Structure 1
Amino acid sequence: MVKQELTAAFRSIRRKKVISLISILGLGIGLGCIIVLMALVIHEKSFDTFIPDHRNVYRIISGKNSHVHYPLAESMKNEFPEVKDYFRYYQSGSVQIKVQGTETVREENFGFADPSVFRIMGIDFISGTPAGSMSEVAISENSAIRYFGNLSVSGEMIELRFPEGFLKLSISGVYREFPSNSTLHPEFIADIQLSRKMLGQFQRDLGDYGSSEIQPLGWRNSEFLSLLVLDENADPTELSAKMEKYKELIANPAQDTLRFKLQPVADIYLGSEEITGSFFLRKGNAEELKYYEIISLMILLISLANFVLLSRAGVSERTRELGTRKVYGASQARIRRMVILESFIIVLLSLIPAIFVIEFGIPFINNTLGKTLYGQIFLTPRLWVWLVMLILLTGLLSGWIIGMSYSRISAYKLISGKIPGQNGSKRWNYSFLLLHFTIYMMLVTGLIAVSKQLEYTRSGYTGINPENVIVADLSSDELRNNFLALRDEIRNIPGVISVAGGSFIPPFEHFLPVNLADISGEIIRFDGLIMGEGMTELLGIEVIDGSPFGPYKEGTPEVLINESAAKLHNVKAGDNLLAFRVRGVLRDFHAHSMHSSIQPMVILPQNPARMGLLAIKTDGVNDEKIIRQFRDLYSRISPDEIFEVRYLTEQIDKFYLRERNQSHIIKAFSLLAMVLSVMGLFGISLISISKREKEIGIRKVNGALESEVLVMLNTAYIKWVLLAIVISVPVSYWLILKWMERFAYKTEISWWIFVLAALSAIIISILTVSWQSWRAATMNPVEALRYE
């Protein structure tokens, strides 16, 4: 019996080739998208759960800063019995290294840590041991292969660059890669004590404003990620309260309001949106994940709607066959089983296109979002549970609903075609069409709004002109000591408009807190910048009172402030702000991304011999030639230094990488939603118009024009698309408003966004239906009425 039912199911699928193909492809695309998005969500929620004792591992947070003081973790281990273990970690952006005497290269993931980092994180060594002194470094297996071509590298040498020269380090061992769901992903780990030299370099980057009194490994400098392993019975809240005693040791103007807390390590990846520091950690976004879950739900609804609708339509074409089977003794249960079996076969066949979608989808997700999603995610039991549930839900639900409705109808009604509830069936079809285009409208309006906001973030910067500005790092002592000579030579290059230097060039991502104090001890905190002569003019920042910085004069306590600071403290050019004289007031400008509002700002003058960055404003005509000549000057002064330049606009683009990635994802899934909607609409129109062929034939015999028939058929669908547009507009508007809350400065939600999306929906529906309508309208009525 089962063999007969399988044969009948496959025969039915073959007989209605077009509908079956649409069902299989549509469901396959939908399932593939959902599986990829489910894999992404599961992967994102799994970060740091690979750590052996992850439920008892916590990160120390000071206020909203994930960087804490070097002695803190060790002191807690010594003083609190509930602290079982700890490690400290430091990383300072990219470093320059030499391997086997080759040319200098940049390494983005060079860290400094206690040896316990490997024990706590559960990372094994292939050979050797962790770095045990300031002259050693451990290397990952990937980097060992990349730089040396093999894993037998213990005892080999690398050289790490500092401003004063290279330091030789011996490789102590090779460790296995940190997993793809690890927030921490270093390629080199040197001894934590060596971070003293790297932190000294950071103080040099601050120029004259880097305090010589700061002890990098003391209580006056908070630059370390610190993780604790607690006893399983420890209370993190109670331990946080005990940490208040350490505030007395910390030199921080805000120490009275400072609060320590412990964050579970598994919450770091998705729970660090409000936390600063630790830029080197992989970070996710819980809100972003919700958007992907919503998109996957939308795709699921469209796919299921298509499948149920087309399956129902397909079964409606078999009513005479089902009636005949009932006449020959088939029970209601067997009729239901036949329909369910056919549904399951289509679901299983749809896994073939789903595999292709997954094959292309995972690299797309990784490349677009910068994720680390790999094939091993499909070994996760949780994903398989969801996958099996999805297949069962799709096959069983659709088959059961349709099978139940048709198995109860008498054989006479099935054979005669007098099926009760035909009008309800039409409403059922149109309700699915309504769902399709409502979801399509929401995705397309979201895509247009995101693109509009991203364009605004690029062109909407006020008070500053970042166009045609080239930026280069001045990392070596030779470059800094020769800054003035280098600046003057660059000015002579044709096409160069101006040249200036600074330790920070806006817009940059993070706030630089600057504390101004006077002799009475009063302290005011500002958002800060450190820039040299000519930088405000180069960036097009308007001086509305006073004058910009002139040539640097040591010992002259002068500052520039922005409008917000001037209004807040009621000062103007020439007035004193605490112990500093206000040289000029600048019109408010965006020093950071548009996610944050403009804050009261103070700009300090920089010593030319301490410049960390150099900016070149060009006419934009022949930048390649300018960069080539700049490279020659740069290499002549510091031949071992890596020459790299970037445009300031590229720096700005990085602020909105997450939103840009989101727009790519929405774009891809909007396209898929459109494809699925077109496939569903094509299938619906194919079936419904074929059922009206006799009606169309009669109308044409009675004098109806082809154009009238075409309008009649199209109108039946267009009115439901228009209703979908009406429903989707308020929902889309609300979703766009919620998404834009992350920006302090945002573009308006224009009316044309919804008009454009609506026009695309109407055009797509007209083009999809018109082909079927035209075919029916131009058909010879004799063909339709031949057997009447």
Structure 2
Amino acid sequence: MISNYFKIARRNLIRNKAFSGLNIAGLALGMACSLLIMLWVQDERSVDGFHANGNRLYQVYERSSYDGKVEAGYMTQGLLADELKRVIPEIEYASGYEGNHLYRSTFEVGEKINKVEGTYAGADFFRMFSYPLVQGTPETALNTPIGVAISRKVAEQFFGNPEKAIGKAIRYENREDLIVTAVFENVPANSSQQFDFLRSWNAYVKENQWVTNWSNTSPHTLVQLRPTADPARVEAKIKDFIYRYKQKDQGSLVELALQSYPEKYLHSTFKNGQIDGGRIEYVRLFSFVAVFILLIACINFMNLATARSTKRAKEVGVRKVVGAVRTALMGQFLGEALLLTFCSILIAVALVAVLLPAFNSLTGKQLFLPFGQPVFWASLLGLLTLTGFVAGSYPALFMSSLSPIRVLKGSLKFSGGATFFRKSLVVFQFSLSIILIVGMIVMYRQMQFVQTKNLGYDRENLVYIPIEGDLVQKYNLFKEEASRMPGIRAVSRMRNSPTVNDHGVSDIGWSGKDPNLWVSFSDELVGFDFVKTMNLKLKEGRDFSREFGADTVSYSGFLLNETALKKIGYQHPIGQPLWWGGRQGTIIGIVKDFHFNSMHEAIQPLVIRLDEKKPYGTILVRTEAGKTREALAGLEKISKELNPNFPFTYQFSDQEYAKLYKSEQVVSQLANSFAVLAIFISCLGLFGLAAFTAEQRTKEIGVRKALGASVASVVTLLSQDFLKLVLIAILIASPLSWYAMTRWLDGFAYKIDIGWWVFALAGFLAIAIALLTVSFQSIKAALVNPVKSLKSE
């Protein structure tokens, strides 16, 4: 009997090619989309899930209550890891980790020279995390300031293989020779930490003396608890740990807390001092999108199958007359649905295979179809079964319920409940489509907003060059020669870069400061002509300049932004005293607020001081418009002369700024693609319902045309019902989309307003698309000869 079902299904599929093609196409697109999202979601959830000790790994974060607000973040004190391990017995291992950014450093062995990205980590790092060592031991990999652990890839580049690398010297930044103490396997793609070398934490402390001040925060702190430790009790123990090493301020409260490390990747956003969302919101969003698009495709199947019901009603009637029971008929229609779904899933897998390279390029992933994994085949089987039964359930129930007497007499009528159900499905489809259209518009506008907003400095024609090698000592000579070159307007330097400032201080003082007031300041170290090079706007005062001899004295003068001035409260700030870590200087200038982090964060109070002796940082070069290529050629020539052992590298400010919103740009592009796909699949469903309606009203149309109705009036008659459905969908989708996009925009400190016109535009697009879809069937029905329409079958 089952073989008979599939034989009939195959014949119907071949006999009704257009109908079958629409069904297969809709289901294939829906399942391809779901498969792509499933692979992406699976990859997102797998990040950092490979660590053997993952259930005992925790990231320490700091919660600060001050000035009437509560904030939290991962920046901690540089000596915190070692002290936690020494004092708290439940902590088995602890490691500092410079997780704010990677260092793109130059390594050299003989004639081989290359840039390698890496960072600093504590001596316990390889004991805690599952990055397998090919050579060396976890105990000795990072226990010496001159040691360095490198990846297999780097070992092969410089030494040929890991065995030859161990114990060998490798020149670092052309200033010191390091010894390769370990070689680790290349870091997997599903690790949130990506690095090709690690230096010891002792080296980090040696190069950053500020870490000895417990008021300064920047690096991350990672801990591994003992197997018997209770995380809640450990968190309670370390809550006030900072006050063992610094005096408690009456105006602030600093607490330490723990977050499970494997959860950090997806849950890294804070609100009111508590973990509140992160990338998990995108994972949930696209999981829902996958389900909704698959539902839309299934609804299409239902509507298209129902539209064909009058063609197969007599078949059902005959089968019932000769003894077919309802369950057998249901089995037949479900079998047809499963056959169509099977054809669709084959096409879907082929589509995914074709689209994966482009999808990986868009998302920055390395996804692949895991044909060798039984779980993948089980998932496909589950998708096939679920989709087939969901898509075929309503047609099977509906068709098997038809009365043989009514259908054989040709008096097939549909109940109000059945009609309402089908229309509800269309409303549901278009509601989802409108929500996606609104999301597409809002995300695009927000991305345009962050890309075009005035940041307070000019990021056009601004170039970053790393301070490395001989440029550490020859920076002034580099600046002098570069400033004389054509196409160069100004040259300066800073410790970080204009798009990333990840350092903070809390020991800033001023005259009249309330002893109960505690304020966290961002800080920056810069060179002469910083304001000029960045094109910042001076509200009052002046820039750092060699014309003022006092500026050359460390901590003698400070620049503040407007937010910092508001916190301090000076009415006439120029010349007023300011203390930084107990050292007194004077305020020489106030710059208008500018963004030195992404727009996810509000502008923080910023204090800037001069420091041209820092052994690292970024050279800022402002080029003249239209002369950037000429300027870069000159800069490369100077760099090769002054710093011959280092390749000339640079970044453009606007490109580095765009990287701050990479995740949002990916999500925006994915939302655009899924919105278009959802609309297209919804149109297939609307096409099916229009065909069904036209078929049901064939004789009515014939009568109207016989009485003189025009084609336009018939088209209007058939279209107005569908427009009502789309209007209902707009009413339902507008508040839902407003809520969803408002939540998404809450992640930005600076954002657009969602105007009424966004919903009007989404509604207009939905109506226009619906009209274009329905008009084909309406015009086709209106053009049929009324004699043929009225002819009894």
Please tell me the TM-score bracket, short chain as reference: 0.7 to 0.9
Q: Letter of the aligned partner of 1:101 in structure 2?
A: G
Alpha-carbon spacing, 1:228–1:758, altered in 2? closer, same or farther (3 Å): same
Q: Does 1:167 align with 2:177?
A: yes
Alpha-carbon spacing, 1:533–1:177, altered in 2? closer, same or farther (3 Å): closer
Asked if 1 retains the 8 angstrom alpha-carbon contact of 2:106 and 2:646, the reply is no
Alpha-carbon spacing, 1:223–1:740, altered in 2? closer, same or farther (3 Å): closer
Alpha-carbon spacing, 1:729–1:269, altered in 2? closer, same or farther (3 Å): same
Alpha-carbon spacing, 1:155–1:531, altered in 2? closer, same or farther (3 Å): closer
Aligned to 1:501: 493
Aligned to 1:483: 475
Q: Letter of the aligned partner of 1:17 in structure 2?
A: K
Alpha-carbon spacing, 1:773–1:370, altered in 2? closer, same or farther (3 Å): same
Aligned to 2:528: 533
- The offset of 1:321, in angstroms, is 0.6
Alpha-carbon spacing, 1:99–1:300, altered in 2? closer, same or farther (3 Å): same
Asked if 1 retains the 8 angstrom alpha-carbon contact of 2:241 and 2:256, the reply is no
Aligned to 1:634: 639
Q: Deviations over 1:30-75 (max 9, x none)?
A: 1222232233333323333332343233334444454666776566
Q: Does 1:339 align with 2:333?
A: yes
Alpha-carbon spacing, 1:8–1:702, altered in 2? closer, same or farther (3 Å): same
Match of 2:507, SS state, is: strand
Alpha-carbon spacing, 1:378–1:421, altered in 2? closer, same or farther (3 Å): farther
Asked if 1 retains the 8 angstrom alpha-carbon contact of 2:107 and 2:116, the reply is no
Q: What is the aligned counterpart of 2:298 among 272, 296, 304? A: 304
Aligned to 1:427: 420
Q: Deviations over 1:408-430 (max 9, x none)?
A: 33211222332343554443333
Q: Does 1:721 align with 2:726?
A: yes
- The offset of 1:24, in angstroms, is 1.3
d(CA) in 2 for partners of 1:363, 1:225: 37
Aligned to 1:451: 444
- The offset of 1:325, in angstroms, is 0.9
Aligned to 1:101: 110
Aligned to 1:577: 578
Q: Does 1:269 align with 2:277?
A: no
Q: Deviations over 1:584-632 (max 9, x none)?
A: 2222232322212223222212337767322222232121111111111
**Bigger Cα displacement from structure 2, 766-775 vs 741-750:** 766-775
Q: Letter of the aligned partner of 1:700 in structure 2?
A: K
Q: Letter of the aligned partner of 1:19 in structure 2?
A: F
Q: What is the aligned counterpart of 1:196 among 199, 202, 214? A: 202
Aligned to 1:121: 129
d(CA) in 1 for partners of 2:177, 2:104: 12
Asked if 1 retains the 8 angstrom alpha-carbon contact of 2:558 and 2:609, the reply is yes
Asked if 2 retains the 8 angstrom alpha-carbon contact of 1:469 and 1:648, the reply is yes
Aligned to 1:280: none
Q: Deviations over 1:129-158 (max 9, x none)?
A: 555564655544444556666665454846
Q: Deviations over 1:543-573 (max 9, x none)?
A: 2222232224225621122223323322122
d(CA) in 2 for partners of 1:384, 1:658: 30
Aligned to 1:593: 598
d(CA) in 2 for partners of 1:23, 1:336: 19
- The offset of 1:740, in angstroms, is 0.9
1:241-252 pair list within 5 angstroms: 241-243=236-238, 247=242, 250-251=245-246
Aligned to 2:222: 226
**Bigger Cα displacement from structure 2, 448-457 vs 239-248:** 239-248
Q: Does 1:546 align with 2:552?
A: no
Asked if 1 retains the 8 angstrom alpha-carbon contact of 2:578 and 2:587, the reply is yes
Match of 2:190, SS state, is: coil
Alpha-carbon spacing, 1:783–1:141, altered in 2? closer, same or farther (3 Å): farther
Aligned to 2:629: 624
Aligned to 1:686: 691
d(CA) in 1 for partners of 2:478, 2:108: 30
- The offset of 1:667, in angstroms, is 0.8
Match of 2:308, SS state, is: helix
d(CA) in 1 for partners of 2:379, 2:598: 39
1:603-622 pair list within 5 angstroms: 603-607=608-612, 612-622=617-627
1:511-530 pair list within 5 angstroms: 511-513=503-505, 515-517=507-509, 525-530=520-525
**Bigger Cα displacement from structure 2, 284-293 vs 660-669:** 284-293
Alpha-carbon spacing, 1:144–1:154, altered in 2? closer, same or farther (3 Å): closer
- The offset of 1:110, in angstroms, is 5.2
Alpha-carbon spacing, 1:375–1:265, altered in 2? closer, same or farther (3 Å): farther
Q: Does 1:777 align with 2:782?
A: yes
**How many equivalent pairs are there?**
763
- The offset of 1:670, in angstroms, is 0.9
**Bigger Cα displacement from structure 2, 675-684 vs 267-276:** 267-276
Q: Does 1:322 align with 2:280?
A: no
d(CA) in 2 for partners of 1:366, 1:246: 44
Q: Letter of the aligned partner of 1:540 in structure 2?
A: N
Asked if 1 retains the 8 angstrom alpha-carbon contact of 2:464 and 2:650, the reply is yes
- The offset of 1:699, in angstroms, is 2.5
Q: Does 1:349 align with 2:354?
A: no
Q: Letter of the aligned partner of 1:488 in structure 2?
A: E
Aligned to 2:361: 367
Q: Deviations over 1:493-525 (max 9, x none)?
A: 333332222324434353543632479997864
TM-score (norm 1): 0.87
Aligned to 1:732: 737
Q: Deviations over 1:268-293 (max 9, x none)?
A: 222222399xxxxxx96122222222
**Bigger Cα displacement from structure 2, 409-418 vs 622-631:** 409-418
Match of 1:317, SS state, is: helix
d(CA) in 1 for partners of 2:477, 2:53: 56
Match of 1:592, SS state, is: coil
Aligned to 1:567: 566
Asked if 1 retains the 8 angstrom alpha-carbon contact of 2:241 and 2:255, the reply is no
Q: Letter of the aligned partner of 1:285 in structure 2?
A: R
d(CA) in 2 for partners of 1:151, 1:315: 69
Q: Deviations over 1:178-208 (max 9, x none)?
A: 4443333443345x3xx4334444x3xxxxx
Asked if 2 retains the 8 angstrom alpha-carbon contact of 1:698 and 1:781, the reply is yes
Alpha-carbon spacing, 1:82–1:605, altered in 2? closer, same or farther (3 Å): closer
d(CA) in 2 for partners of 1:618, 1:625: 9
Q: Letter of the aligned partner of 2:102 in structure 1?
A: G
Percent of pairs with identical residues: 25
Aligned to 1:207: none
**Bigger Cα displacement from structure 2, 312-321 vs 5-14:** 312-321
Alpha-carbon spacing, 1:403–1:54, altered in 2? closer, same or farther (3 Å): same
Alpha-carbon spacing, 1:188–1:520, altered in 2? closer, same or farther (3 Å): same
d(CA) in 1 for partners of 2:490, 2:106: 32
Q: Does 1:750 align with 2:755?
A: yes
Q: Letter of the aligned partner of 1:159 in structure 2?
A: I
- The offset of 1:766, in angstroms, is 2.1
d(CA) in 2 for partners of 1:778, 1:165: 84
Q: Letter of the aligned partner of 2:197 in structure 1?
A: F
TM-score (norm 2): 0.87
Aligned to 2:703: 698
d(CA) in 2 for partners of 1:744, 1:297: 31
d(CA) in 2 for partners of 1:90, 1:392: 48
